[in-house]
Structures are given as structure tokens and as C-alpha cells.
Amino acid sequence: MQSVSNCVICHAPISKSSAGVIAPFLARRVWNASSFPVKLMHCEGCGFKFFNPRLDGDEEKRLYADYRSEEYQKLRQSYEPWYSKSFNEGLSAATGMKVRKDTLRRVLSPHLAGLQIRTILDFGGNRGELIEDLIPNAERYVFDISNLETLPGIGHLRGKEDCKGRPWDLVICSNVLEHVGDPQRTMEEISEISNMGTLIFIEVPQESPAGLKNIAKRLTQLAILMVTRPSIGLRLFRPALIYLMHEHVNFFCPKALRHLVNALHWEIVADGQYDISSYKFGIYRVTSGTMTWCLARKP
Ligand SMILES: [Zn+2]
């Protein structure tokens, strides 16, 4: 792990933090250890929030190797009883993925109109589900540290070096930066493999670790653990549970994402936010989450 004292996005010194704790599953999978305390850092410069200490590259590889495989699911369910086989399969099921694909197409289409997109790279794109049919006739490739086999028709690039020297028209990085220990380094890697004129689409969840939805989720999970896994539940039974470090180690706001993009001097083509899904509950509209995104061009 690596400890930092400044914001990993804007480098402002951090003076505000909250007590947090590592999820027991994460501690076991990455360090073969029991859960231990961490801190959630609040940057007052750019609004970014992140857990500290941070995962290093080797730890990220251990966490995401064979991501969501049978072995991953079984270990996770032994700590988190709700993470069943069907739940795991549902995360990449065609129905949920269709919503993500349709949304991406809707967000990108107005900005790609009239452009020739012949090559797409999904950086951190798992098996290539998101870009499978995004743009007809484009050559599609995936680079992902999980190294899972890609879907038919989608090229599998096994290393970052393999991504370089190719004429990328569009690079997509969706739901990745909230997982990585050094988001700025990841953005630099994307810049290194892009060419002059490459369009780069970045999107991250816009979420608050102290939001009501997150607190309700943690309390529900604690209640389940107290009944089904009391030894794990009792270890987590403390205020720091609210800030549980799991796979999301970073919490973005539009300002923090924009700061990352500006630091690379990319030209911002468009940016914005969208709700992942929403439904009406009486007079209220309930959203299950918000994404913040940016489309930029490498000059
Ligand atoms: Zn900051």
C-alpha cells in the first residue's frame, strides 16, 4: 500500500479525513489478512474523496485478476452472503448491460456525428461488453488487467505496451477510475497510448460515501452480517463502517474529473452528468445513481 498526504488529483494538502475500514473480503483477497482501519480523505481543493492508504499496482492486479470468476464469487460470498452466484452473473447480464450500452450511445452520438470512428479501445473494458455494438464496422479492442478472454470479434490486448502505436479514433474508459490507486497515472497511460486527435471518453460514478443511500446500504449489510456471519458483523460494528473501503476507492465530482482532464491539456469536447436509471415513487423521482463524464480530444 502507499500512503499519501496530498490529494491524488489536484495535489492540495489534505486537512480533513474520516475514520474508515477495509471490507473484510478485500483484506482477505488482496493481503490474506483481516479487515484493518483506513482513512477517507476529503480534498477541499477539488472536492475529490479517496481512501488512504492506496492500493499499489500489484495489489490491484491481485484484486482484479480473474475478476468475478467462480473463485472470486465464492470467496466474496463467504464474507458477503448477498454476493451470490446469480447476483455475480447479473452484474454483467445482457439486460443491465443493454441499459449501459444504450446510455453510452445516447451520450456519445451527438458528438460523434459525421466523424469516422474506425478503431475503438475500451481501456479497462472487461470482456468488451460495452463496445460490442457501439459503432458498426469499427475495429474493437479491450485492455483490462483482469485479462479475461474478450467477446468474439473483439481484440484482446494483454499489456499496456500492446495498446501503443495503434491508430485509435476513440478510447473509452468507463467505470474504471473509481477503482484505481493512482487515477492520474491511469489518465497518463491513456494519454500515452492515444494519438493526436484521438477522442477519449471518461466516465465515473458521481457518488458520496456519506450519502443517505450509501449509509442505508451499509446498515442493511451489517444487519445481514449480524444474523448470518456474526463474527464478521461484530468486527465491523463501529462508526467507521460507514466509510467501508471496497472496490470503489475514489469518489468523484465533476470538478475533480475536469481537473484530471485539464492536467493533461486535452481539449474538452463536452462533459456532463446523467442518471443511471430512475423511477417514480408517488410524487418522488428516485435515481439509482449518477454518472459524470467527459469527452476530450488529445491535441
Ligand atoms: Zn483535490
pLDDT digits 0-9 by tens, 94-134: 777 888 899 999 999 999 999 999 999 999 999 999 999 99
pLDDT of residue 262: 96
This model's pTM is above 0.75: yes
Task: Tell me the CA–centroid distance for residue 13 and ligand 1, in Å.
Answer: 8
CA of 10 to the centre of ligand 1 (A): 4
Which pLDDT band holds residue 285 (cuts at 50, 70, 90)?
A: low
DSSP 159: S
Q: Are 169 and 141 in contact (CB under 8 A)?
A: no
- Asked if residue 232 lies in contact with residue 81, where contact means CB atoms within 8 angstroms, the answer is no
CA of 182 to the centre of ligand 1 (A): 13
143 CA to centre of ligand 1 in angstroms: 28
Domains in the chain, please, with CATH? 16-90+208-247 (no CATH), 94-206+257-297 (3.40.50.150)
Name the one residue in this structure whose C-alpha cell is 474493437.
140
Residue 252 has pLDDT above 80, yes or no: yes
Mean residue pLDDT across the chain? 91
216 pLDDT more than 90: no
Reply yes or no on whether the pLDDT at 208 is more than 90. Answer: no
Average pLDDT in the 61-66 region?
91
Give 131-152 pLDDT, tens digit per residue.
999 998 999 999 998 888 999 9
Can you give the length of the chain in residues?
299
Other CB atoms within 10 A of residue 12 CB? 13
Ligand 1: distance of its center to the CA of 50 in Å? 10
d(CA 298, CA 107): 19
Report how far ligand 1's centroid is from the alpha carbon of 251 (Å).
11
- Ligand 1 centre and the CA of 9: distance in Å? 5
CA gap 187, 130 in Å, rounded: 19
Confidence tier at 280 by pLDDT (50, 70, 90): low
Output phi, psi for 67, to 5 deg: -55, 130
pLDDT of 297 = 98
> Quick check: 278 pLDDT over 60?
no
For the ranges 192-201, 226-235, 267-276, the lowest mean pLDDT is seen at: 226-235
Higher pLDDT, 100 or 239: 100
Task: Classify 145 as helix, strand or coil.
Answer: coil
State the pLDDT confidence band at 233, using cuts at 50, 70 and 90.
confident
Please state at what angle helix 183-193 crosses helix 254-263, rounded to 10 degrees: 50
Distance from Cα 149 to the centre of ligand 1, integer Å: 36
Q: Who has greater pLDDT, 30 or 209?
A: 30
Top-confidence residue, 98 or 93? 98
pLDDT more than 90, % of the chain: 73
* CA 11–ligand 1 middle distance (angstroms): 6
User: What is the radius of gyration, based on Cα positions, of the chain?
Assistant: 19
> Is 287's pLDDT higher than 70?
no
Q: Give 196 Cα–ligand 1 centroid separation in angstroms.
A: 28
For residues 88 and 198, the model is more confident at: 198
Residue of higher predicted confidence among 197 and 234: 197
C-alpha neighbours within 13 Å on the C-beta side of residue 231: 3
